[in-house]
Amino acid sequence: MTDNPKAGLHPHNIHRFGYDFEALIQADHGLGVYVRLNPYGNLSIDFTDPKAVLALNKAILKSDYGIQHWDIPAGNLCPPIPGRADYIYYLAELLDTGVSKGLTGLDIGTGASGIYPLIGASKFGWKFICTDIDPLSLSNVCSILDHNPSIKPLITCRLQPHTSRIFRNVWHQGEKVDFTMCNPPFHASAKEAAQATHRKNRNLSINSNNKNFGGNKNELWFPGGEQRFVSNMIQESIFYKMQCRWFTSLISKKESLPLLYKKLQEIGANYKVIEMAQGQKKSRILAWHF
């Protein structure tokens, strides 16, 4: 760990001072084989090694969130937990709840990791409805919950049967939530996603057999990218405006915002942008309500 907080992370984020690898190894001994001294003389792992990152996530979730069992299928995104936790902390601030319990969220595109509901349920005691178009991803989340009975009652999984829908089919009539959240597919096509992965591997001099930029089709791309995905979400939110306090989504590309602002203005929604950062990586949460 470091005495200096990481730039950009929410001031309440428990990961803002880095990783205590000695404590993490104590929590999960499986991490130990991947921990080495880096060139600065500090304990760390090779963040380009997917097995090392997976082991780190398991240890973090066990040590800091009480998640005793967590795993994801090969090829799925292995989420960086500090950044994912930041979204949850900013939601707590947006909803002006601090650490109070009793809130319910709808997570769009939960993925195989179930990371947002796991963090929100374990840290804040929030309830979550998890949705995804991939039955295998939801099956993995259900498996994680089966091994973590203390939070299983807080999380419900629902399959979205239509790839073109966001809220419809999974949000029941009259069912109220305090917020929705989403980490939308970033790229506009499979080709764009593959090119981005190639650039990351090349810039980091990563061997093609040892890359840590996985992710299946549903996680990485959607026709029209995040701008089209969130635009569809905004349009559907009209029909659920009486059932939700705040609709939110991560936005990775700043250039996606002008069109989304226009869309929100057209439907008469009030909106705000919450800036986020993890080191050099910048992102933001777009939040709106009626």
Tens-place pLDDT, residues 153-167:
999 999 999 998 999
Residue 213 is predicted with a pLDDT of 46
60-92: pLDDT as tens digits = 999 999 999 999 998 888 999 999 999 999 999
Residue 165 in any domain: the answer is: yes
Residue 6 is predicted with a pLDDT of 72
Rounded CA-CA distance 152/156 in Å is: 8
The pTM score is: 0.88
Q: Is the dihedral of CA 182, 161, 57, 188 positive or negative?
A: negative
Residue 24 in any domain: the answer is: no
Q: Give me the residues paired with residue 135 across strands.
A: none
Residue 67 in any domain: the answer is: no
> Token match 């090349």: residue?
202
Question: Is residue 110 within 8 Å of 116, Cβ to Cβ?
Answer: yes
Residue 44 in any domain: the answer is: no
Residue 96 is predicted with a pLDDT of 83
Q: State mean pLDDT over 145-156.
A: 98
Residue 145's domain spans which residues?
Answer: 74-289
CATH of the domain at 216: 3.40.50.150
Question: Is residue 224 within 8 Å of 233, Cβ to Cβ?
Answer: no
Q: State mean pLDDT over 16-36.
A: 96
Q: Is 21 exposed, middle or buried (0-12, 13-18, 19+ CB in 10 A)?
A: buried
Question: Is residue 1 within 8 Å of 17, Cβ to Cβ?
Answer: yes
Residue 205 in any domain: the answer is: yes
Residue 34 in any domain: the answer is: no
Residue 31 in any domain: the answer is: no
Residue 100 is predicted with a pLDDT of 56
Residue 37 in any domain: the answer is: no
230-253: pLDDT as tens digits = 999 999 999 999 999 999 999 999
Rounded CA-CA distance 221/224 in Å is: 8
Residue 277 is predicted with a pLDDT of 87
